Structure 1
Amino acid sequence: MKKKYVLLTAIAAVVDVTGWDSAQAQNTAHTEGPAATHAAHRHQTAKSVPAARPTLKAVKAPVSDPELIHVVASPVQAAAHTIDQETHALQNVPQAATRIGAQELKAEHITALPQAARLLPTVQLNISNPRNTTINIRGLGAAGTAATDGIEGGVAVYVDGVYRSRPATALSDLVDLNGITVLRGPAGTEGGMTATAGAIELTTAAPDLHTRHVYGEAGVGNYDYNRWSLGVTTPLIKDKLAVRLSALGYGNSGWVKNLAGGGDINGQTSRSFRAQVLYHPTDELSVRLTGDYAHLRENCCSGGLYKIVATKTDGSAVAGTLPQRLGWAGYGATAPSNAPYTINRSSLSDAEQEDMGLSGHVDWHHANFTLSSITAFRWWDWAPHNDGDLGPANAILNSNAKVDQRQFTQELRFSSSLGRLLDYRVGAFYMWQENRVYGDTRYGPDAGAWYGYGTGSSPVSGISAEQASNVLNNYDVRSYGQPTTNYYGLYANGTWHITRKLDFVTGVRYNYSTKTGSFSQWQVTPESYNSAVTSVATAQKIWGLYGSNTGYGAHVDNGFVTGQFVAKYHVADNAIVYGRYGRGGKSGGLNLVSFSASQLSQGAVSPNVGKETDDSFEVGAKAQFLQNRLLVSGALYQTNDHNYQVTAVHEYQGALVSYLSSAPKVRVRGAEMDIHYSPLANLVTSLSASYNDAQFLQYSTSAPPELAWKGAYSLAHTQIPFVPRWALSAAVQYSHGIGKVFSRPLDAYAGGSYNYNTRMNTSSNNSVYGWVPAYGTLNLNFGFRDHQGRWELAGFINNATDERRVSQISQGSAASGNGSWYAYVTQPRNFGFIARVNY
């Protein structure tokens, strides 16, 4: 019995040191998606890095039991395993990559990708609202914040292996989130969707086949912050069948005050639910079924008035400025603010989003191969309400675009090896997607005066403001656009083990996409219109200025080849150097917006957007030092992008219309560094930094609004919008035992993170008024917990120094040329407390 106890004690010590038990291994085996499996496939079959082995020490037993031996791990090896296993594994992947593990996500109370962006300096999320969102890596992906209903992003986002084509669906809170991995550079030959800029994989905890857990949390804070979660995972048939049910709720009130009343803005309420079944009938077969639902309601996102420009750079006056229009409508002028934490709106912007799906992931491991299938069907519904004139007037009551999206994806992949020479994967990916976009712009009783009727700026001479309001009050312009996508991809990827130290990775992919769509726009005459006040002929002329009856169809299809070639050399057991060439691409798309028939016939605009390709070159090195307690990786890169899909702006019927266009040549080059260091057990630090020079080399669009310039305007050799030149993030977490409470060991912990970005321009044409100043944010966390993790009391302070900064600046679009600029702002200091239990 004593010998058996010694053996069990030794095993327990090893498991405790590594932090890696069979349940965790089971979870990892079933949460890999394209980004994660890419990393796993690349490191598991190449020359493996020796795992850190615990140093076993015999401690003298008490006299009463001379045969009893306690086995413990050395402090050095315990420190090495403070950094999670997946982060260690990425050190053998010959591609720039960053991971945020479960421990850091929990410490920073991160449950969604936007919250994690502060720890990912090469990832930029540009959000006007969930629909108008773009995700970039190294400055590429999609420039601007225009809606991309008819096109895919250049960054492929996955949740548990399921591709999310709409950026809004990547913003939802994820219950049981346990890891975020970012792969930088063209992706797709390993699986999933092809991408030009990289891939982001979010994983959630799978059901536990061995042990039952019941867990929950509740939190409160300022700005009415509230947070809760509940979950249970339990085996139904031990080692064979398990389920996990979980839910998450989050909410806060806004921090931007509305002077016109009606409440603050930038608040939200989020609810997420997830149900999973994991079936493992044999050692060879596993099946994971997932159903999820998320609901988001927000009175967001709307910028405050930041600047009013009354003259252009040549000294000419801007006609119909915002103060002038407010004066015509009988309202006092609204003063801009350098820190616009106030707005003055007659109605608040709000929106609701529903995101839900069903998926099945099947893996069959047999002999020398693995056959996998990932099947998913997803729904996304977006219903906004926006104050169209962005002020106190009732000129444009709403300007909305409701979206109903449906998506089906299927991926099949086969992985195997040819002896010690080659490990390979072949697969196929299919996606069907349909977006139904319902537009609605309604004008109000102040519209006639707002647009300057009866003044020297009247759009139609001889018409008074009263006559125009008779025509425009409750005038409705509605539209419907429906892009439908069918995408097909075939890929193959192999790792050739040339020598014990040298590997070559080759991959090729064929992509084919077809998109069809149509757009229609029609007028809805207001019931209150009185022909005795304004003649029918005049009314029709006025109605046509703000939305004519129009429609057109569009179609685009293209096929293209992408691929990669990588050379990786092991300079030592714990160090590699590599060189990588990647060819990325994404298919063309459709612009289904309010283009007039004359614009289309003259070729001034096009409903089609051409396909985009890029060539990326990267050299890098990764190494582990100090017995795997210090992980260092760095890379130099250059990407040459062809026909970069960007946001353009044009004036149409008294408003600014955003649409997708192409920049013929873009170049991005820079350097990146990631460091993880654990000097002692329970202390882990990380530092990520990037320098990114992203420029248009050839691109012409509309001129910045401050210029008196007609025709095309060149942005060659200017910075791509929404890309900071320098970005940095740092994080630290430390925990330590502080004694016992009711005979149970108690730990205290503290940590924090800091992120910093240099200035960037957030206008589509690099206007001088679109520059966002550099700023940094400090976040802190602290708490106490039972050493076994059964309970925890945590506190946090986000934006601890209360930096009130502008994060994005955009030109007002309610009336083109009105000289107004609006700014989105960072959240002020936010603090709270969270209690957690886990049994």
Structure 2
Amino acid sequence: MTAKYPSVRRRVPAGLFTLSLALAIAADPAAALETADDTAAADDAAQVEGGSYGGEIIVTARRRSETAQDVPIAISVVDGEQIDNTGSFNVGRLTQLTPTLQFYSSNPRNTAVNIRGIGAPFGLTNDGIEQGVGIYVDDVYYSRVASSTFDFLDVAQIEVLRGPQGTLYGKNTTAGAINITTNQPTFDFEGKAEVSIGNLDFKQAKAAISGPLSDQLAARIAVSSTSRRGTIYNVVTDRYIQSQDNIGIRGQLLWRPADNLDITLAGDWNKQEAVCCGSVFVRTGETQRPLNRQFAALAAAQGYAFPSENPYDRLTDLDANLNAGNEIGGASLRVKWDVGPGTLTSVTAWRYWDWQPENDRDFTGLPIVTRSQNPSQQDQYTQELRYNYTGDRFDFVIGGFYYYQRIDTQGTEGHGPASSRWTINPSNPLSNDPSVLGGLTAINTQYLKNTSAALFGQLSWKITDQLTIQPGVRVNYDKKDGYYRRLVFAGDGSPVTADLTDAVSAARLAVFTPQEYAPSFSDWNFSYDLTATWKAARDLLLYATYAKTFKSGGINQNGVPNGADGDPILAAATVKPESVDHVEAGVKAEYWDRRATFNLSAFRTDIKNFQANVNNGQFGVLRGYLANAGKVRTQGVEFDFSVRPSERFRAYANGAYTDAKYERFVDAPCPPELSGGSASAPNCDISGQRLPGVSKWAFSFGAEANAESSLFGQDGQFYLGYDGSYRSDWSSNPSPSAYTWIEGYSLSNFRAGFRTESGLDIFGWVRNAFDQNYLEQLSVGPGNTGLITGLPGDPRTWGGTIKASF
């Protein structure tokens, strides 16, 4: 039987593509990397059109059409079919397919997305700094990393670009970028629908429809909904937590008044209402506190014990309200005009984010911290304008970017009747009086105004047919103005002020200290990069890149330490810019009649004034603030291999070795085993130790085999697919601790099904097939008591999916 399946004509937008996954995608032969002409590649969408299986991939990673193997950038691409087939429906799940991507989240706001071990400080999020990894959807920059916790909505493809960016894109990012491209409106009527069900009451539905409204106007609308029971059972509330409850809708209108002009208006709305977020007991470790102030003694004094000491029993007893209400939406207007010898592109966008959290900050079933919530509201406005030109010997892109963000946050933190006995030294008689700290409340008010503007450009000079030199520059201005105020009230409503000196007030001020300050930061910086490309043979490319760039400085928005006089230390209110030096070299090769691809890259990134998160050990003194480490270095080697000997089989293997460490950090926060004692050092030297959140070794691998057949009179393919991943151990604390290393683990996902030529696909799937026990994150409990809690990863899940397209 002759194969008749359409290929995917890949139109990779501004961006990000790694030969690795793009040529190695092992998900669905009807959706992997295929032929495209230059006209198709210039667009920003992926379409299913006729064509031969295999062939070259045309990308516009440098704002012009070229084959993927000619792009001197390390990029990873996952297309929409791969996302659906592997269940990678958000950024967190995408890490199983992209070894150099790290994702850590204790709740949507406190989420970090890193590449090669760098990007955002590990720990609690601080609104006063920028992300090192930019997230873009259809050319629109998403400033809040909370967006990465939502379901992908009608996605055509996702590209993960490794290394500093800025000379081609709107917002400057020093670690890389995640570029998400959605399916665009079409002038041919088409649609698709997908329904999945599984264990843990998993239900997911997706649908999209697109078509013409007139000869010049086309529309597309897509919806998505995901729900799942939580994976941790709360014995106090008799309900599961860590649930999924996502819904989203996206609509687009494309107006094409002339062949050389496209105007796209898009809008989206996404909401989460999960019962989230909590943790389970993992272990305790000895700290420098007196024994009667460590966790075992404090818990015994109140007759308390966790419901289980085995984290994989997935039991908790958190007694405070939990909520992770998360809403994100916005609108954008994109204009693409082929004018003169090039293309002018304008992207205007507005986005908002509303965050309504409730947490249990003592991590136990005792009423110590009974209320912890910091609701936040954000508005952002962006404008990008760029012009790109392609010629025989010279290509260039020049652009400008403007960004404004306003964030308002209102926090409430309150202590309960068990706090006095837990928090105050047992030798102090006040520890036996629940009213001393019971009802103690801190009201936090803060805002941030963030303005950024930039001019950027990149030139490609083809010196010969084999040698190309590509310089790029960026001039950036950033300004941040903030405000922070904390008011403290006793349980009877009376204010607790810093001038009170009685014993009761002193005990209260040791927990919550009133504070007010208005930090401000502004700075210019100049970035540049240079890439040399040598086309040694038709299927062999060598490249080398040097980049000098900066990550904007910032301000501390969650409070700063007080000095001996009781006033805020204003020197800690601002954070210096990171200075980044980056070198990279790579080889991209195809062989066996282009049925196999092997790419190799090596990199080193040195960062001065690295922005590191500092967590204070007390309940409410600080939720965490930022400081500059002396120097950080990350270096490593990455490879991407794929083979497709025929239409019946394909396989891939991608890997990364990443050596990321503090080269110099002499005043870092101490790990818990060195904290809490009266004689403990206020800071520790962790120079030479590994950065948090990054594994030295990470791999993804998989294969798919298929056989042509028929079922119920329908011609099609039976197929069997496998996707696996492995990550070695990593540190889950900003300062490496013996108590917070997460052991390495491997995950395996299988799928098997039947798909037809008419667009019907039915398959079953098993994820974490061998029910591997693993932890996604460990957290140090407050108060230096030695408590360590964690988030266990998903257990084995299974289910089925039906997809149809027309």
Tell me, yes or no, whether TM beats 0.5. yes
User: Equivalent residue for 2:149?
Assistant: 171
Instruction: State the 1:824 CA deviation.
Output: 1.3
**Aligned counterparts, 1:543-558, within 5 A:** 543-558=508-523
Confirm whether residue 795 of structure 1 aligns to residue 772 of structure 2: no
- Which residue type is aligned with residue 396 of structure 1? V
Note if contact 1:634-1:671 (Cα within 8 Å) is conserved in structure 2.
Answer: yes
2:453 alignment partner AA:
Y
Residue 81 (structure 1) shift:
4.3
Q: Deviations over 1:620-659 (max 9, x none)?
A: 1101222222122111111111111111123457666321
Contact 1:91/1:631 (<8 A) preserved = no
Q: Residues 539, 684 of structure 1: CA spacing in aligned structure 2 closer, same or farther, 3 A cutoff? A: same
Aligned to 2:584: 618
**What is the aligned partner in structure 1 of residue 730 from structure 2?**
760
Q: Distance in 2 between matches of 1:706 and 1:231?
A: 53
Cα deviation 1:437-472 (Å, max 9, x = unaligned): 22110112222233247x32x3xxx43523xx2243
Cα distance, 1:786–1:348 mapped onto 2, change above 3 Å:
farther
Partners of 1:529 and 1:565 in 2: CA distance: 62
Alignment partner, residue 113 of structure 2: 135
TM-align CA RMSD: 2.8
**Residue number among 750, 756, 771 corresponding to 1:786 in the alignment:** 756
Match of 2:563, SS? helix
Q: Deviations for 1:48-86, whole angstroms, at most 9, x for unmatched residues?
A: xxx9799xxxxxxxxxxxxxxxxxxxxxx9552498979
Matched, 1:831 2:805: no
Contact 1:105 1:178 in 2 (8 A): no
Corresponding residue to 1:820 among 787, 790, 799? 787
Match of 2:745 in 1: 775
Question: How far 1:803 moved relative to its partner?
Answer: 0.2
Query: Do structure 1's residue 519 and structure 2's residue 484 form an aligned pair?
Result: yes
Structural mapping, 1:70-219, within 5 Å: 78-81=52-55, 89-209=67-187, 211-219=188-196
Deviation at 1:154, TM superposition (A): 0.8
**Distance across 2 between alignment mates of 1:421 and 1:89:** 17
Match of 2:332? 359
1:430 and 2:384 correspond: no
Alignment of 1:29-428 (within 5 A): 32-33=13-14, 35=16, 78-81=52-55, 89-209=67-187, 211-238=188-215, 240-310=216-286, 312=288, 317-332=290-305, 336-337=309-310, 339=312, 341-347=314-320, 349-417=322-390, 419-428=391-400
Q: Is the 8 A contact 2:124 2:623 kept in 1?
A: no
Work out whether 1:805 is the aligned partner of 2:791.
no
Amino acid at match of 2:395: D
Where does residue 658 of structure 1 map in the other structure? Answer: 624
Q: Once the two structures are aligned, what percentage of the paired residues are identical?
A: 26
Q: Secondary structure at the match of 2:146?
A: helix
Q: Residue 748 in 1 paired to residue 718 in 2?
A: yes
CA gap of 1:562–1:17, structure 2 versus 1, over 3 A, is farther
Question: Judging changes above 3 Å, is the alpha-carbon distance between structure 1 residues 696 and 507 closer, same or farther for their aligned structure 2 residues?
Answer: same
Separation in 2 of the partners of 1:528 and 1:478?
12
Distance 1:530 1:111 in 2: 48
Q: Which residue of 1 aligns with 2:27?
A: none
SS at match of 2:739: helix
Partner SS state of residue 96, structure 2? helix
Q: Does 1:678 align with 2:651?
A: no
SS at match of 1:769: coil
Contact conserved, 2:472 with 2:528, CA < 8 A, in 1?
yes
CA distance in 2, matches of 1:833, 1:333: 36
Structure whose CA Rg is larger: 1
How far, CA to CA, are the matches of 1:623 and 1:18 in structure 2? 26
Q: How big is the shift at 1:597?
A: 4.4
- Structure 1 counterpart SS, 2:624: strand
Name the SS of the counterpart of 1:650 in structure 2: coil
Superimposed CA distance per residue, residues 202-251 of structure 1 (whole angstroms, 9 cap, x where no aligned partner): 11101112x2123222221111101112221111124x321011100001
Distance 1:38 1:524 in 2: 58
* Preserved CA contact (<8 Å) 2:17 2:76: no
CA distance in 2, matches of 1:484, 1:654: 25
Provide closer, same or farther for how the CA distance between residues 524 and 317 of structure 1 changes in structure 2, counting only shifts above 3 A: closer
Per the alignment, in what secondary structure is the counterpart of residue 598 of structure 1? coil
Distance 1:769 1:669 in 2: 26
Paired positions, count = 766
**CA separation of 1:682/1:356 partners in 2, compared to 1, >3 Å: closer, same or farther?**
farther
Q: CA deviation at 1:171?
A: 2.3
Which of 615, 633, 658 is the matching residue for 1:667?
Answer: 633
| Whole-angstrom distance in 2 between the partners of 1:517 and 1:729 | 42
Query: Is the alpha carbon distance of 1:36 and 1:654 closer, same or farther for their aligned partners in structure 2, counting shifts above 3 Å?
Result: closer
> Whole-Å Cα distance in 1 between the matches of residues 265 and 57 of structure 2?
30
User: Normalization by structure 2: what TM-score?
Assistant: 0.90
Letter in 2 for 1:114: G
Report the Cα offset of residue 341 of structure 1. Answer: 1.9
Q: Does 1:450 align with 2:422?
A: yes
- Cα offset for 1:414? 0.9
Measured after TM superposition, the shift of residue 548 of structure 1 is 2.9
For residue 776 of structure 1, report the CA deviation from its aligned partner.
0.6
Residues 304, 824 of structure 1: 8 Å contact kept? yes
Q: Which amino acid is the alignment partner of residue 626 of structure 2?
A: L
Query: Equivalent residue for 1:69?
Result: none
Distance 2:242 2:751 in 1: 23
Q: Given that residues 265 and 348 in structure 1 are in contact (C-alpha distance below 8 angstroms), is that contact kept between their aligned partners in structure 2?
A: no
2:575 — aligned with what? 609
Matched, 1:562 2:531: no
Q: 1:82 to 1:622 in 2, by over 3 A?
A: closer
The aligned residue for residue 456 of structure 2 is 491
Looking at structure 1, the residues matched to 17 and 660 of structure 2 have their Cα atoms a distance apart, in angstroms, of: 27
Give SS of 2:708's match.
strand
- Residues of 1 paired with 2:466 and 2:285: CA distance? 62
Helix, strand or coil: the match of 1:106?
helix
Separation in structure 1 between the aligned mates of residue 208 and residue 75 of structure 2, nearest angstrom: 31
What is the aligned partner in structure 2 of residue 57 from structure 1?
Answer: none
Q: Is the 8 A contact 2:307 2:316 kept in 1?
A: no
Structure 1 residues 137 and 394: alpha-carbon distance in aligned structure 2, compared to 1, 3 A threshold: same
Question: How far is the alpha carbon of 1:536 from its aligned partner?
Answer: 11
Question: Quick one: distance in 2 between partners of 1:414 and 1:310?
Answer: 60
Q: 1:529 deviation in Å?
A: 8.3
Alpha-carbon spacing, 1:18–1:219, altered in 2? closer, same or farther (3 Å): closer
Closer, same or farther in 2 for the Cα pair 1:300/1:640, shift >3 Å? Answer: same
Match of 2:420, SS? helix
Q: Determine the C-alpha separation between the residues in 2 that align with 1:320 and 1:691.
A: 41
List alignment gaps of at least 5 residues for structure 2: 21-33, 38-50
- Report the 3-state secondary structure (helix = DSSP H, G, I; strand = E; otherwise coil) of the residue aligned with 1:170: helix
Per-residue CA deviation, residues 659-697 of structure 1 (Å, 9 max, x unaligned), is 111112111111000112211115332211000111111
Aligned to 1:576: 541
Amino acid at match of 1:80: G
Deviates more, 1:107-116 or 1:637-646: 107-116
SS at match of 1:718: coil
2:25 is aligned to none
2:618 pairs with 1:645: no
Task: Report deviation, 1:302.
Answer: 2.1
Cα deviation for residue 170 of structure 1 reads: 2.4
Asked if residue 593 in structure 1 is aligned to residue 563 in structure 2, the reply is no
Q: CA separation of 1:639/1:539 partners in 2, compared to 1, >3 Å: closer, same or farther? A: same
Partner of 1:64: none
Determine the structure 2 residue equivalent to 1:706: 673
Runs (5+) with no aligned partner, structure 1: 1-12, 40-50, 55-76
1:725 equivalenced with 2:696 (yes/no)? yes
Post-superposition shift, 1:320? 1.7
